[in-house]
Amino acid sequence: MFRPLPENVSQVATLGAGPIGAGWAAHFLARGYHVAAYIHSMDELDAFEQILDAGWVSLEAIGLAEGASRQNLTVTDNLETAVSNAQFVQECAPERLELKQALYTRLDKYVADDIVIASSTSGLTMTDIQKDCNSAHRTVIGHPFNPPYLLPLVEIVGGKKTDPKAVAWARDFYTCAGKAPLVMNKEIPGFVATRLQEALWREALHMVANGEASPQDIDTALINGPAPRMAVQGQCMAFHVACGEGGMATNLDQFGPALKLPWTRLQAPELTRELRNRMVDGCEQAASDRHFTDMVAERDRAIVGILKAVEKAKL
């Protein structure tokens, strides 16, 4: 229904000259795609290229795909020119609903309706963005994390009028493009990653407001404590593995009462049997048949590498 096959895409369009638009352009170029970048005004070209320059250093360090070249980039301030041959469109316009709605009605005309269009928005829903759009079925959220040329996450979710096949196509395309897609079934504000980050951020602001910690204390705590482990295992598997043979079941059954302790200002959910089982089953599926001692060893190898990488980057 949507074309071409995700693995056959060779030409993409990015819309926007900011860190997200330019960051996506850099990423797609590094993965070997031809990129047509639309920027609102050629006055933004310098800023756009500066972000590309910064991103390219890291992308080369990671390793470029075969045939990848900055020569495969064209930049234009003509929207129709940018998208007319695109096999996928990554929209990164400013976060204003009316502006995005107007943009999507223009894309109706310029982009064949079996081509998927993804929005990088972090704060709006696709149901709202696609409201006035005649080709709403092919529009999805494809939300990256800054910097988009480095962090692999892309959160994907459709709006009310989105065809589920467009969501599936986007997931497959982002996988081909070297990203780590996360498909969501519900449109919730902030998606998954920003909600988690925001909970932490609000608690940090509470602590600074109460004189309990300085911004530097917050960062010292994160950098030297939970963050390196979280970069390796997330939070569910970190607890699952730390509890040894008992895993997440031990964590929840033993430390569940600690959810009632005044650690953070966020009220905890009721730890129902159903929630407990969802957590336990999810972790056991993710662990598959790996023994926790192997996972501890892998975690530790990765943390050693992370600590060394962070130190080395300072030189």
Q: Tell which positions 256-295 bind a copy of itself, by CB under 8 A.
A: 258-259, 261-272, 274-275, 278-279, 282-283, 285-286, 293
Instruction: Give CA–CA dist 22/226, Å, rounded.
Output: 31
Nearer to a copy of itself, 19 or 133 (CB): 19
Q: Which long-range contacts (CB under 8 A, 24 or more apart) does 135-138 make?
A: 135/107, 135/108, 135/111, 136/161, 136/162, 137/113, 137/161, 137/162, 137/163, 137/166, 138/2, 138/113, 138/114, 138/162, 138/163, 138/166
Q: How many residues bind a copy of itself (CB under 8 A)?
A: 114
74 scored as a contact of a copy of itself (CB under 8 A): no
**Least distance from a copy of itself to the Cβ atom of residue 16, Å:** 16
Nearer to a copy of itself, 5 or 297 (CB): 297
From 13, 27, 24, select the one nearest 59 (Cα to Cα): 27
**Least distance from a copy of itself to the Cβ atom of residue 236, Å:** 4
Cβ atoms 35, 12 nearer than 8 A: yes
In the list 123, 132, 134, 164, the residue contacting a copy of itself (rule: CB under 8 A) is 123
Instruction: Give CA–CA dist 21/14, Å, rounded.
Output: 6
Nearer to a copy of itself, 132 or 201 (CB): 201
In the list 67, 94, 164, 215, the residue contacting a copy of itself (rule: CB under 8 A) is 215
223 scored as a contact of a copy of itself (CB under 8 A): yes
Touching a copy of itself, residues 6-25 (CB under 8 A): 19
Cβ atoms 181, 171 nearer than 8 A: yes
246 scored as a contact of a copy of itself (CB under 8 A): no
Nearer to a copy of itself, 43 or 132 (CB): 43
Dihedral sign for Cα 142, 143, 145, 149, please.
positive
Q: What are phi and psi of 35, to 5 degrees?
A: -125, 125
218 scored as a contact of a copy of itself (CB under 8 A): yes
In the list 172, 221, 250, 253, the residue contacting a copy of itself (rule: CB under 8 A) is 221
Cβ atoms 1, 135 nearer than 8 A: no
Instruction: Give CA–CA dist 94/101, Å, rounded.
Output: 11
Instruction: Give CA–CA dist 294/241, Å, rounded.
Output: 10
Touching a copy of itself, residues 171-190 (CB under 8 A): 180, 182, 184-186, 188-190
The encoded tokens of residue 225 equal 């404590």
> Segment contacting a copy of itself (CB under 8 A): 30-38, 72-80, 101-109, 143-151?
143-151
94 scored as a contact of a copy of itself (CB under 8 A): no
Nearer to a copy of itself, 67 or 256 (CB): 256
198 scored as a contact of a copy of itself (CB under 8 A): yes
> Segment contacting a copy of itself (CB under 8 A): 75-83, 104-112, 164-172, 306-314?
306-314
For 298, other C-beta atoms within 10 Å of its C-beta total: 14
Instruction: Give CA–CA dist 293/242, Å, rounded.
Output: 10
> Segment contacting a copy of itself (CB under 8 A): 37-45, 76-84, 127-135, 215-223?
215-223
